[in-house]
Amino acid sequence: MSHSPTDNAGAAVGTVKSYALGFAASVVLTLLSFGLVMGGALPRLPLILALFALAVIQLFVQLRFFLHVDRSSAMYWNLMALLFTFFLMFLFIGGSIWIMYGLHERM
Amino acid sequence: MTTAQTAHLPGAPGHEAHGGPGGHDMGEIQAFGFWIYLMSDLIVFSALFATYVVMAHNYAGGPTPKDLFELPAVLVETMLLLTSSAAYGLAMVAMHKGDLRSVRLGLVAAFALGLGFLVMELAEFQHFIGIGAGPDRSGFLSAFFTLVGTHGLHVTFGLLWIVVMLAQLSSKGLTAPVKGRLTRLGMFWHFLDIVWIGVFTVVYLLGVVQ
């Protein structure tokens, strides 16, 4: 057998290089997020957008390099379940914000 | 691999984590099942994030995030959890090489860093409660303690699980079931670090920015 039993399981094999790359990218993204807020150089709206963008990029970095989610056939159902969960989160969080802020405006 | 190659039915009893190349062996099925659990846990966190975002400005005359949050401490916490997640990754690489010593080393490092994160979080909670900013002070603080506390509780169980796996490594060694459990624990541990990205961005950074 050329590979170990967990090779194409829900969390596939990473290499030292892939973990180091994911770690370095995450450290840089985290420092950027904190640096932007603690430095206070950006105005409010661009700052908020930048923070969301950095968080989303780091989310994908960690999914790719730590949890090895990619478009390979072994990860197909993991990816589908994840995308469906993102859709539910969008409804959940987006819907709550929409309804509660709408209510707030009318009160 | 034994001659059982011909009998690797999906999920067949007695074939835990054994299967032919390309077959859906037990370890694979268990890892996918665990992934589904993680997705449902993500829904739990979504509900808590939604609640937090709705409650974030309900201070009831009490302290605001700007008064409370110490960003340098949160940055240290974040780095501890991130490094712990990466250390676990190195333990996984060692596991696939069959290097028991390095697996232990990685797990101990992941545990120590994760414990550091938890101790800092508990110190923060204790400080807030001590200055009268406990979960009963305002809607904002109720939602804050519930969201951050639920994440902390997950980390606590992750730490317990690491201890259990260190014990199993000593008593059983790197057997197929132990490898499967280490894989699932790794998924759990990386998942908690991903949820923390949302916490430090939405709660701490956006809280201070307002």
Q: Which domains does chain B have, with CATH numbers?
A: 27-56+71-209 (1.20.120.80)
Q: How high is the pLDDT of residue B27?
A: 86
Answer yes or no: are the C-beta atoms of B109 and B86 closer than 8 Å: no
Q: How high is the pLDDT of residue B109?
A: 98
Residues 6+ positions from B116 with CB-CB distance below 8 Å? B80
Average pLDDT over residues A66-86: 92
Residue B167 burial (10 A CB sphere; 0-12, 13-18, 19+): exposed
- B56–chain A nearest CA distance, Å: 11
The span from the CA of B200 to the CA of B93, in Å, is 28
Q: How high is the pLDDT of residue B7?
A: 41
**Facing residue for B193 by CB, picked from A38, A62, A77:** A62
The span from the CA of B195 to the CA of A88, in Å, is 16
Answer yes or no: are the C-beta atoms of B5 and B20 closer than 8 Å: yes
Nearest Cα neighbor of B138 from B210, B204, B62 is B62
Query: Higher confidence at residue B19 or residue A82?
Result: A82
Nearest Cα neighbor of B174 from B82, B106, B72 is B106
Average pLDDT over residues A61-80: 92
Q: How confident is the model at residue A74 (pLDDT cuts 50, 70, 90)?
A: confident
Q: How confident is the model at residue B14 (pLDDT cuts 50, 70, 90)?
A: very low
Q: How high is the pLDDT of residue B12?
A: 40
Q: What is the pLDDT of residues B192-207, one digit of tens each?
A: 999 999 999 999 999 9
Task: Provide the 3-class DSSP secondary structure of residue A97.
Answer: helix
CB neighbours of residue B210 within 10 Å: 11
Contacts of B46 in chain A (CB under 8 A): 88-89, 92-93
Chain B touched by A55 (CB under 8 Å): yes
Chain A touched by B181 (CB under 8 Å): no
The span from the CA of B208 to the CA of B210, in Å, is 6
The phi, psi pair for B13, rounded to 5°, reads -60, 145
Q: Is the pLDDT of residue B18 over 50?
A: no
Encoded amino acid at B188, one letter: F
Q: What is the pLDDT of residues B27-77, one digit of tens each?
A: 889 999 999 999 999 999 999 999 999 999 999 999 999 999 999 999 999
Tokens read off for B6: 């011909």
The span from the CA of B14 to the CA of B182, in Å, is 20
Residues 71-110 of B with CB under 8 A from A: 71-72, 74-75, 78-79, 82-83, 85-86, 89-90, 92-93, 96
- B18–chain A nearest CA distance, Å: 6
Between chains, do B93 and A16 touch, taking CB under 8 Å as contact? Answer: yes
Tokens read off for A10: 């829900």
Task: Provide the 3-class DSSP secondary structure of residue B34.
Answer: helix
Q: What is the pLDDT of residues A22-42, one digit of tens each?
A: 999 999 999 999 999 999 889
Average pLDDT over residues A42-64: 96
